[in-house]
Homo-oligomer: A and B are copies of this chain.
């Protein structure tokens, strides 16, 4: 097989095969290569630049010994796929379930996750969305500190484990969406800068230098990201990608990276014969991401934090941080009818005008959720909505999310009101970095009145263990009751074309700010709910679903 690596500034590149060293030959545009006839699946290797330390391949497909260890060759053709009957997922009618492999199951592995897939099928979601699985330092991490972007994490089960999970999902009719991070790399084990100009100090991001997508020698950096995306979709049979924080992908080129990516993913879909989809996390409120190419980038969807914040401020009195830009019911009505309320309006949290109108697009280009890993885990103690709201209000939240004109998304355990938190955890092996992360986390919440000892230490293994779902909770009636409510709502959504219809001009919403009630009408279906103590508004029709503070009726 041929080993190839991009190292445009190197004078010498060696392949290190467990001590045996071979010189690579410089080719075009900074690419080096060498043919090694007897290497293949499972061969361990590393690169040495200009006689330096052995480094993992930037495109390493497997890092069995972690981010600092050798790379291992993976021959994707060897995996015994059994999902030949899988023809792909229809994104606009999807219902998504976000899960974190390390905490979703007791085992914290891909195989562990497989054991709970039937639960998801019974619940009625149609797609799982995995937090990033690329190799990160240690065994405990949300995934956003990944540095070997091509390597499924060793402690989760590596490449074969991930393939087994995807295969098992497809057998059950579940699509797989993978969260991928192209705006930064983690702080430990990131050797990319030694290989080439992967980063540029010309633009900043919250994590430091931006990834170099628009400056000199950026073509190969763009390929690094795009080839990675294509690999997951092609070699791992993944159905869609969730692109982390695309507002931190600074690209001034005439063809934005996201447009190039969307074009290539669409073409790959033709080759593999399945619809493939892309969704963004975006802090831009910019329809350009979603509009068709060439005027837009043609992504399929983006997460809607505006909907989340409108919901959250409807049910709680939180108004700090970004919640300052939201004020409950009127904003909730605005999101349901106009996609996002921040559409060229002043945002106090950003101290600037934000967004543009969401026009010409159906609602299913947005993901609507009451919880996700960020909105739970980025709270000081990782508390869920179920920690702050009574069960009868959780039912209202669920009804509003699952009857909204957006693609709904649940966060693992939300469906039964899990009592386990989802906290911020890391396992950096560099002691100084570990201390800095622990300290940084404590300081982050000081301005909000949290004392250091109240904030869990990300580096403490107990923080990770505490964040694991406790499936035994499902033995309790109150958890089962909420789970049934979610299932019933998902079933109603699936069977009601008008609930899947994304046309926002057909959504009618009436809110009563004084009584704190809301009525959402979507074709024959009406959802009436009370947020406070007022009675549920009386609406005409046959009751389809009802709980203490919310009723769903169908026109007679």
Name A residues whose Cβ lies closer than 8 Å to a Cβ of B: 201-204, 214-219, 222, 247, 250, 252-255, 284-288, 291, 294-296, 344, 346, 350-356
Contact = CB atoms under 8 A, between A and B. Distances in A.
A219 B352 contact: yes
A202 B201 CA distance: 9
A288 B255 CA distance: 10
Given A201-B204, A203-B204, A288-B254, A346 B296 contact: no
A253 B353 contact: yes
A247 B247 CA distance: 18
9 contacts: A201-B204, A202-B203, A202-B204, A219-B346, A219-B352, A252-B284, A253-B286, A254-B284, A254-B288
Contacts of A247: 252
Tallying the copies of this chain within the complex gives 2
Most chain B C-beta atoms within 10 Å of own C-beta, residue among A216, A219, A254, A284: A254
A203 B250 contact: yes
Contact of A291 (B216, B252, B295): B295
A267 B213 CA distance: 36
A263 to B, nearest CB: 11
Nearest to A360: B294
Nearest to A355: B254
Residue of A216, A284, A294 with most partner-chain B CB within 10 A? A294
B344 A255 contact: yes
Contacts of A222: 353
A351 B30 CA distance: 12
B352 A216 contact: yes
Considering residues A253, A288, A344, which has the most beta carbons from chain B within 10 angstroms of its beta carbon? A253
Kindly name the residue among A218, A252, A286, A288 whose own CB sees the greatest number of chain B CB atoms within 10 A.
Answer: A252
Contact of A352 (B214, B295, B353): B214
A218 B352 CA distance: 6
Nearest to A350: B216
A288 B215 CA distance: 19
Contacts of A284: 252-254
A450 to B, nearest CB: 24
Contact of A219 (B219, B296, B353): B353
Contacts of A350: 216
A285 B356 CA distance: 25
Closest 5 pairs (CB-CB, A-B): A295-B295, A254-B286, A216-B351, A254-B356, A202-B204
Contacts of A351: 216-217
Nearest to A296: B295
Nearest to A204: B202
B217 A352 contact: yes
A513 B167 CA distance: 58
Contacts of A296: 295
A402 B287 CA distance: 40
Contacts of A287: 254, 294
A6 to B, nearest CB: 13
Contacts of A354: 253-254
A69 B356 CA distance: 41
A352 B222 CA distance: 10
A203 B351 CA distance: 18
Given A215-B352, A352-B216, A285 B204 contact: no
Contacts of A253: 284, 286, 352-354
Given A217-B352, A253-B354, A255-B353, 18 more contacts: A216-B352, A218-B352, A250-B250, A250-B252, A253-B284, A253-B286, A253-B352, A254-B284, A254-B285, A254-B287, A254-B288, A254-B344, A254-B354, A288-B295, A291-B295, A294-B356, A295-B295, A295-B296
Contacts of A294: 287, 356
Contacts of A344: 254-255
Residue from the set A291, A353, A355 with the largest chain B CB neighbour count within 10 Å: A353
A142 to B, nearest CB: 25
Nearest to A206: B202
Nearest to A340: B254
Contacts of A254: 284-288, 344, 354-356
Interface-central residue, A216, A287, A295, by most chain B CB under 10 Å: A295
A134 to B, nearest CB: 25
Nearest to A216: B351
A356 B263 CA distance: 14
A551 to B, nearest CB: 38
A254 B255 CA distance: 16
A243 to B, nearest CB: 15
A198 to B, nearest CB: 14
A15 to B, nearest CB: 26
A355 B253 CA distance: 7
A250 B253 CA distance: 11
A71 to B, nearest CB: 27
A346 B203 CA distance: 22
A111 B291 CA distance: 51
A317 B203 CA distance: 36
Contact of A203 (B203, B219, B295): B203
